[in-house]
Structure 1
Amino acid sequence: MALWASLVWGVPVAPTPFEKSEFMVLPDSRDIRQYLVALADGHEQARLVPLGDSAGGRPIDALLVSSSPAFLQAQRPEPGKATVMVLAAQHGNEPAGAEAVQQLARELLSGEHDGLLARLNLVLVAMANPDGRDLSRRHNANDDNTNIDYVALAAGETRLLVNALHRFDPDLVYDSHESGIWKRQLTREQGWLTDVETQFEVGNNPNIDDPLRDYTEHHLLPALIRRVTLEGLEAAPYRGEITRLGQGVARGGLGITNLRNYAALQGRVSVLIESRLDHKAGSYATPRNIAERVRKQHLALLTLLRLTADEASRLVPLTRRARTGWRSQAENGRTLWMDMRFERNPEQPELWLPLVRMTDGERRFHAFINQNRIMAGEPVTLPPAYAVTRERERMARWLHHHHIRFSTLSAPQVVRAERLLIEALLPPIERRTGVREKWRVQVASQAGSVRLGPGDLLVPMDQPLAPLAALMLDPRSVNALYQEAGWSWLAPGDFPVFPVWPTAPDVRK
């Protein structure tokens, strides 16, 4: 076993538990946490911050790694220096990212990687779902899929991560995942495995701050794919799950139930990686090729950090302005698009993607319908506020979990309002495999005066989280809270949440 030692500070840095096993045994969440504690205790450039506990009672922590004592102490962004938050293992059965994060932390604390710590502040959440890690499954101990819980915030783990976003206020969020190459229909019935090494996606919801979305879509994402490929790891834009021949392929989902779009709508650069999760039946040097999978995750993460450091002079001002001065793609800068979907791209109607034949390993390219054109509709100009007149205490807790500012009326108040009348609920136009489709809601609106009562809530739209709040509160939105389990408010008739033009001064408190 090689000796790991500090190259700058002279403090020995022990190998990770996975490295100690010669890449043969995955450690459990307890061993990983003990290692992170040891890193923080042994190095003044690191600090372990408890975030809370999982549904199964396992601790979730953030390891801060930085050369800045001020950041380690105050845990807030610094001028000109990008803060990067890395989340691994939101799905417990996708373990390679967690090992790559630990390895990178060890290397950085050894003084490796070209002075990255002088240019970046890092928040490393190696175990976002420790229950899933120990139980070898995607979900937590309560069977919650925390990865798609960023609207409802039903799981405690998701609420902890949302709190962490506000606590550390990162400029860039990196969400690490693995994608299995074996698919039930594609492989078992049609005889093909998917063939992709790494795929990347960024926040793609049409309501993300327009300059930020343009930068990540047209500059950062291509640059990341190019750099990773030049490092010897084949990289491509994310095409979603290929589960059968002849299907359509698009991109990562547009909804805000996932961390990628949720974080981007807060004004953050947001990047997803899906690296290759090899087939169980393959023959590899380590169990299920885990050493190679960790190598790929490590290479991708390190490349992203170097790119972020190089881009800091452009990236940092852009994302921080987006967090305080959101501007939509519309001419007035205040229009939200409540409906969004993928359609076939007329400029490139087909994509040729590689698959591997299960029987002999031959690689062939297959044509797939290219449905990566993003269509946005149902424009709504952001109103001064939304009123909430149903389940107000529950809604207040939910708003608080999202860190969305609101006020509670203590006396009756007459406001100008746009009452929303649900006329019909329609099923999705086209169901896509692996995508959680949403009801389409036919809504009519009527302007007039409304008397609000004591206890009703007012959510002002002059706050940084206004676009995110409006997309979750407005029933016309395909990203609305009421599309989530446990919030089945969608029914014909007057809707209890609606835009208002309040007159009382306390709406902005």
Structure 2
Amino acid sequence: MKKIFVVILLTFNFIIAQQTPLEKSNFTKLTSHDELKQFIQEVDKNSDLIKSEVLTKSIESRELFAVYFSKNEFGADKNKLKVLIFAQQHGNEQSGKEASLLLINELLKPDNQYLFDKIDFLLVPQMNPDGSEKNQRRNGNGMDLNRNHLILTEPETIALHKLFDKYLFEVTMDVHEYWPFGEEWKKLGFRRNFDVTVGAITNINISEKIKKLSYEKYLPFVFDFVKEKGYTAFHYLPGGPIGADYIRYSTFDINDGRQSFGIQNTFSFIQEGMNGENYSTDNLERRAKSQMAGMLTLLKFSYDHKDEIKKLIAEEREKLINNNVGDKVAIQLDHFSDGTELKFNLFSYYSGKDTLVKVNDFRSVVKSLYDVERPKGYLIPKELIELKQWMDKHNLIYEEAELDRCDKIEEYFIDSVGTIDFERDTIINPYISLREVKDKIDLEKYYFLPVNQLKNNMIVIALEPKSMLGLVTYKQFEYLLKPKEKYKILRVIN
């Protein structure tokens, strides 16, 4: 009699826990977009906890799905913490997508549904379906989506930011894979070997209090939790190989998934699992399950620290909206060492085991190279239609320019255009002069874009001509920098 009961129970569990396409293939075959679509539609149909919707369609007309987890109407309970995870911006980084589907099943288990007493969670399992189908990095337009969060030219990133602006998530995570198999590392004899790596925000314009919570509480928590699940985890550390190049805490650029939301004072992270050699299905089960463990960690930490996170994010965002922030905005930055010695395990090609390695050139600190005074706002020429379109894509608040708001105006003159090093890349660096405008300006030809809004820091970083992270560094806006001419975007000062 006891054996019969066990068989019935197992059968019942099988019915309520539908296998993902990856599980059905015994972790040997990547999930196609059609399979992902079918799986999401079926779990949506069978569960009251979740609902799904199509955010947009890709360049090649594949759907981008959002999966909402909530015990009531999503976003209606203002006391709940809103968490967003999105995966597979790069099509050849497949484990984030697979982990997302595993996570859906994990969260449907009764043991995990307590999370939604305090959290409303939204999951975008696959940002780049076109790249995924071809196992290639870029989308159907040939664009790297994780370099598109400032200019927003692609339907996938536009839809994601529209979603963020609608709900103003307090917590976000962008899920990727890193590739540790470079030839230079092989020559060194070592490579990275962590199942999961996590990076917190690094742009110094973001709230220091949010950074402190990220580095002092969340990162140790995720490292311990993932280890308890049987996997390895560490900081996300680009750069190297050791001895040939420095190691750092990822980029400070605001055009990626983590920093573009972080610059709005969001508790924001990037998670990178280890890819398969040659971007293959190698070790796919471990890759997917370890990524899922890291994603689950974010939800558990958010649940445990709901009140602390929600209060902190509300306070720090209010400062941006009221322009109660520092007078200076850093627009040129670099990585520096503060003398901290980094020790971490690398896989040895010689011994076939993890080996403790010491890094002397660890540049753990980001500092400003060039600041600007934060203005009251900017005058945007109406003739520059693409700038109006950019403001609309970012849901920025702007209005007709009026004299009482624009009584003091500054303009830049582009003396010449040089170059500057930006994380081993060479970009433009104009030499400029700044003066107050004394001549009368026809304000009817301008929009006034104030900075006292949530995207305060982003606006300044995007529009300043010397910003190494600004619009002028992109091809479609490079015409704004013409030597021996005035910069058409004007600064309004207090």
Give the structure 2 partner of residue 106 of structure 1: 105
Does residue 337 of the first structure (1) align with residue 330 of the second (2)? yes
Give the structure 1 partner of residue 51 of structure 2: 47
Displacement, 1:3? Answer: 8.4
Letter in 1 for 2:397: R
Give the structure 2 partner of residue 223 of structure 1: 221
Change (3 A) 1:334 1:194: same
Give the structure 2 partner of residue 13 of structure 1: 17
Change (3 A) 1:206 1:57: same
- Of 39, 62, 73 in structure 2, the residue corresponding to residue 58 of structure 1 is 62
Give the structure 2 partner of residue 456 of structure 1: 446
Give the structure 2 partner of residue 318 of structure 1: 312
8 Å CA contact 1:129–1:157 kept in 2: the answer is yes
Change (3 A) 1:164 1:313: same
- Of 276, 292, 315 in structure 1, the residue corresponding to residue 286 of structure 2 is 292
Give the structure 1 partner of residue 300 of structure 2: 306
Aligned mates of 1:212, 1:375 — CA distance in 2: 17
Give the structure 2 partner of residue 475 of structure 1: 465
Residue-by-residue CA offset, 1:122-173 (whole Å, 9 max, x unaligned):
1010011111111101111111100111111122211111111112321111
Structure 1 window deviating more from structure 2 (80-89 vs 203-212): it is 203-212
- Of 352, 373, 377 in structure 2, the residue corresponding to residue 381 of structure 1 is 373
Give the structure 1 partner of residue 3 of structure 2: none
Does residue 258 of the first structure (1) align with residue 249 of the second (2)? no
Give the structure 1 partner of residue 135 of structure 2: 136
Report 1:342-361 matches (<5 A).
342-345=335-338, 347-348=339-340, 350-358=341-349, 361=352
Change (3 A) 1:438 1:6: farther
Change (3 A) 1:462 1:21: same
Structure 1 unaligned runs (5+)?
A: 503-509
Give the structure 2 partner of residue 443 of structure 1: 432
Structure 1 window deviating more from structure 2 (421-430 vs 394-403): it is 421-430
Aligned mates of 1:390, 1:269 — CA distance in 2: 35
Report 1:198-213 matches (<5 A).
198-213=196-211
Change (3 A) 1:378 1:430: closer
Does residue 155 of the first structure (1) align with residue 145 of the second (2)? no
8 Å CA contact 2:199–2:271 kept in 1: the answer is yes
Change (3 A) 1:40 1:22: same
Aligned mates of 2:383, 2:232 — CA distance in 1: 50
Structure 1 window deviating more from structure 2 (35-44 vs 108-117): it is 108-117
Structure 1 window deviating more from structure 2 (493-502 vs 94-103): it is 493-502
> Residue 27 of structure 1 aligns to a residue in which SS?
coil
Change (3 A) 1:500 1:249: same
Letter in 2 for 1:490: L
> Residue 234 of structure 2 aligns to a residue in which SS?
strand
- Of 474, 483, 494 in structure 2, the residue corresponding to residue 484 of structure 1 is 474
RMSD: 2.9
Aligned mates of 1:414, 1:25 — CA distance in 2: 60
Does residue 185 of the first structure (1) align with residue 174 of the second (2)? no
Residue-by-residue CA offset, 1:215-250 (whole Å, 9 max, x unaligned):
223332333334333444322222114356421111
Residue-by-residue CA offset, 1:247-269 (whole Å, 9 max, x unaligned):
11111100101111110112211
Give the structure 1 partner of residue 276 of structure 2: 278
8 Å CA contact 2:406–2:492 kept in 1: the answer is no
Aligned residues: 484
> Residue 410 of structure 2 aligns to a residue in which SS?
strand
> Residue 325 of structure 1 aligns to a residue in which SS?
helix
Structure 1 window deviating more from structure 2 (262-271 vs 386-395): it is 386-395
Aligned mates of 1:4, 1:58 — CA distance in 2: 36
Does residue 70 of the first structure (1) align with residue 76 of the second (2)? no
8 Å CA contact 2:264–2:454 kept in 1: the answer is yes
8 Å CA contact 2:382–2:445 kept in 1: the answer is no
Does residue 405 of the first structure (1) align with residue 408 of the second (2)? no
> Residue 66 of structure 2 aligns to a residue in which SS?
strand
8 Å CA contact 1:342–1:373 kept in 2: the answer is yes
8 Å CA contact 1:410–1:455 kept in 2: the answer is no
Letter in 2 for 1:388: I
Structure 1 window deviating more from structure 2 (51-60 vs 318-327): it is 318-327
8 Å CA contact 1:207–1:336 kept in 2: the answer is yes
> Residue 320 of structure 2 aligns to a residue in which SS?
coil
8 Å CA contact 2:335–2:364 kept in 1: the answer is yes
Aligned mates of 1:44, 1:281 — CA distance in 2: 37
> Residue 295 of structure 1 aligns to a residue in which SS?
helix
Aligned mates of 1:230, 1:291 — CA distance in 2: 17
Larger helix share, 1 or 2: 2
Letter in 2 for 1:257: N
Aligned mates of 1:6, 1:324 — CA distance in 2: 49
Report 1:21-36 matches (<5 A).
21-36=25-40
Change (3 A) 1:206 1:149: same
- Of 355, 369, 375 in structure 1, the residue corresponding to residue 361 of structure 2 is 369
Does residue 396 of the first structure (1) align with residue 395 of the second (2)? no
Change (3 A) 1:266 1:148: same
> Residue 70 of structure 1 aligns to a residue in which SS?
coil
Displacement, 1:425? Answer: 2.8
Letter in 1 for 2:223: I
8 Å CA contact 2:149–2:255 kept in 1: the answer is yes
Among the aligned pairs, what percent are the same residue? 20
Aligned mates of 1:108, 1:292 — CA distance in 2: 19
Structure 2 unaligned runs (5+)?
A: 1-6
Structure 1 window deviating more from structure 2 (194-203 vs 237-246): it is 237-246
Give the structure 1 partner of residue 247 of structure 2: 249
Displacement, 1:194? Answer: 2.6
TM-score by length of 2: 0.90
Displacement, 1:309? Answer: 0.5
Letter in 2 for 1:343: F
